[in-house]
Structure 1
Amino acid sequence: MTTIKKGLRAVAVLEASKGIMSLLIAFGIHTLAGHNLRHLAELIVSRLHLNPASHLPSVFIDAASGLTDVKIMLFAIGAVVYSIIRLVEAYGLWRAQMWTEWFALVSGAIYIPFELYEMIFRTSILGFTAFIINIIVVGYMTSVILDRKKSPLTINK
């Protein structure tokens, strides 16, 4: 297996992981429909021994209170659609299909301005890590596409 194909498979595993995680979140969100979400949020805050009157726990409780069953279903549907896109992309990258290489490049590059904004105004280790991984993936996909233009048959060998 060529080095390029190993790299594409590594990116495919990353994308498949995002797809599976999104699918799990969709199922989790779907199970919340019909429940008293304010009560559930208060229970979570209580179990974590947080003060419900402080800022972040109260924002969490208020946000949970505003979620209707329709909004929950829309979130779940959105998560399933995102999951399908990521899993199809992962399959195509695993098989070294050119269109998924371009898709991975463009879909990764779209996030860079938003990640930069987050790093500037709300720096966190999670945001920084996501940014670095995204830069690596976008850079790698750029190099794969440029290599394919130089010698189109080397990736599928």
Structure 2
Amino acid sequence: MDFSLRTCSWRGHATYAPDETELAARLHVSTPAGEAWRCLRCGDFVVGEPRHRGPADAAPEVPRGRLLRDRFIMRLLAVERVLRGLVFVALAFGVYKVRNSQSQLRAAFDREMPLIRPLADQIGWNPDNSKIVHFIEKGWQLSPTTLTLIAVGLLAYAAIELIEAVGLWLVQRWGEYFAVVATALFLPFEIYELTERITVVRAGALLINVAAVVWLLWSKRLFGINGGGRAYHAEHSEESLLTVERAALAAPGEDGA
């Protein structure tokens, strides 16, 4: 997939006319249909006026190539974090809502269980050995204060997920660090859950989070890994089309020297 062309098809081409005459000449051509400027994202020449003008140093940062692919991956991770955060918000709301209704819910649960047993016998399900039923029964024994604290804890976890999502979606450096630290802190809990019971959802969530941590550490050069912050910023600069064209302009002068 050519992420540059796909992004240009969604958002339009990122053309820019620098004030520097020689640099502008490398980004501009005349055609029978009119003047055309080179897109800083996909590299194609686009007929029409440039979207922006100004000094080359003031040009917007336009990710392209691998950097654009990385941005796409980070935003997929952000969407996954949003969905997870919303799930925990719903759980927190549910726990908080029933904190003072345990006796009524328990009475309703005990009243309905005998009606469920004949159907359970037909499908071979034994409610007495069901972990779901035991988990619900344990919930009746918790005090309203404990349930409130559980709801607050669930909301705190949801907030962490949503902050991760914002940082990743905006492709911020702090978001990359926050996502790695927050995700790594909860990995031991996810591993412990698998020791209790292996499910597709738990195993899939663990694999996604491990892959996200490893990918962010290496690809985004966090904590000094793979060259660190200096290499990270240098890579962003080197990928810029304006940087490439500037280097091409400087090369003949260096050779002549």
Letter of the aligned partner of 1:99 in structure 2?
W
Kindly indicate whether residue 86 of structure 2 is the aligned counterpart of residue 5 of structure 1: no
Hey, what does 1:17 align to over in structure 2?
Answer: 83
Distance apart, 1:23 and its partner CA: 0.9
Q: 1:83 and 1:16 mapped to 2: Cα distance?
A: 9
Cα deviation code 1:82-141 (max 9, x no counterpart): 222221221111111111201111222223344344445533322221221112211221
Q: 2:132 and 2:163 mapped to 1: Cα distance?
A: 37
Q: 1:34 and 1:145 mapped to 2: Cα distance?
A: 47
Q: Structure 1's 27 and 134: CA in aligned 2 closer, same or farther, altered over 3 A? A: same
Distance apart, 1:3 and its partner CA: 0.9
**If the length of structure 2 is used for normalisation, what is the TM-score?**
0.52
Q: 1:140 and 1:86 mapped to 2: Cα distance?
A: 18
Asked if structure 2 preserves the Cα contact closer than 8 Å seen for 1:41 and 1:60, the reply is: no
Q: 1:57 and 1:121 mapped to 2: Cα distance?
A: 14
Q: 2:196 and 2:99 mapped to 1: Cα distance?
A: 34
Alignment RMSD:
2.9
Distance apart, 1:21 and its partner CA: 1.1
**58-67 vs 70-79, which deviates more?**
58-67
Kindly indicate whether residue 232 of structure 2 is the aligned counterpart of residue 151 of structure 1: yes
Letter of the aligned partner of 1:96 in structure 2?
V
More strand by share: 2
Letter of the aligned partner of 2:96 in structure 1?
H
Q: 1:142 and 1:48 mapped to 2: Cα distance?
A: 50
Hey, what does 1:71 align to over in structure 2?
Answer: 146
More helix by share: 1
Hey, what does 1:108 align to over in structure 2?
Answer: 183
Hey, what does 2:54 align to over in structure 1?
Answer: none
Q: Structure 1's 119 and 5: CA in aligned 2 closer, same or farther, altered over 3 A? A: same
Which residue of the other structure, out of 107, 131, 135, is the alignment partner of 1:39? 107
Q: Rg larger in 1 or in 2? A: 2
Q: Which runs of 5+ in 1 are unaligned?
A: none
Q: 2:197 and 2:172 mapped to 1: Cα distance?
A: 37
Asked if structure 2 preserves the Cα contact closer than 8 Å seen for 1:12 and 1:94, the reply is: yes
Percent of matched pairs sharing the same residue = 27
Q: Structure 1's 17 and 45: CA in aligned 2 closer, same or farther, altered over 3 A? A: farther
Distance apart, 1:59 and its partner CA: 2.4
Kindly indicate whether residue 165 of structure 2 is the aligned counterpart of residue 90 of structure 1: yes
**If the length of structure 1 is used for normalisation, what is the TM-score?**
0.79
Asked if structure 2 preserves the Cα contact closer than 8 Å seen for 1:42 and 1:61, the reply is: no
Q: Structure 1's 64 and 45: CA in aligned 2 closer, same or farther, altered over 3 A? A: farther
Q: 1:23 and 1:151 mapped to 2: Cα distance?
A: 35
Hey, what does 1:130 align to over in structure 2?
Answer: 205
Q: Structure 1's 140 and 66: CA in aligned 2 closer, same or farther, altered over 3 A? A: same
Asked if structure 2 preserves the Cα contact closer than 8 Å seen for 1:8 and 1:94, the reply is: yes
Which residue of the other structure, out of 114, 121, 142, is the alignment partner of 2:217? 142
Q: Which runs of 5+ in 2 are unaligned?
A: 1-6, 8-67, 121-125, 241-257
